[in-house]
Amino acid sequence: MKKSSLSLFLALIIFIFIAGCSAPPKDPEIQLLETTIRRYNRALVDAYKELSVDPLQGIASEREMGKVDMIINGFRAKNQYMEAELKRIEIKEIKRKGGDSVDVETREHWRYRNMDKKTGQEMKPWTEADYKLIYYLVKSEGNWMVGTVEFIKEGK
């Protein structure tokens, strides 16, 4: 009987330890904000590769798509496109500006290169960079979208 009591006690201690070490569940709204930023970044990678802002439809505002389109036009003028990979993203701070507006500060590590549109040859080799960004998110028709993005700091 003592052996089973000891086993039960140890199992209870292990359960309490594991339960205490697990992270508390995230606020569903914060998860939505993070998902919005991740969707935006995936769409941005597609936009630069496809030379079209279409992937950003419904994820980014017209203003933000206009900013991206200017960059895309620069690539088109050189007959190039960009391949990019988001290697790491960390949410640093979330500031609520009301029910329909939130500022999210991130630190991100990206890898990118420029490719020739016609030949597919590498024009600029892979470069890695760290960015500090602020995403100004707005709620539109009940969904979060990127209103605009501000680059705060870039480092290599």
Q: What is the predicted pLDDT for the residue at 9?
A: 54
CATH number of the domain residue 84 falls in: 3.10.450.240
| Tokens of residue 99, six digits | 């029910």
| Domain contains 64 | yes
Mean pLDDT by 10 residues, the chain (156 residues): 55 54 66 95 98 98 98 97 97 90 96 97 96 96 94 73
Beta-sheet strand order (sheet of 80-96): 80-96, 101-116, 122-140, 143-155
DSSP state of 97: -
Residue 10 lies in a domain: no
pLDDT at 11: 54
The residue to which tokens 């597919």 are assigned: 120
Would residue 81 count as lying in a domain?
A: yes
Report the domain count for the chain: 1
4 within some domain: no
Closest C-alpha to 104, from 41, 15, 23: 41
148: domain range? 28-155
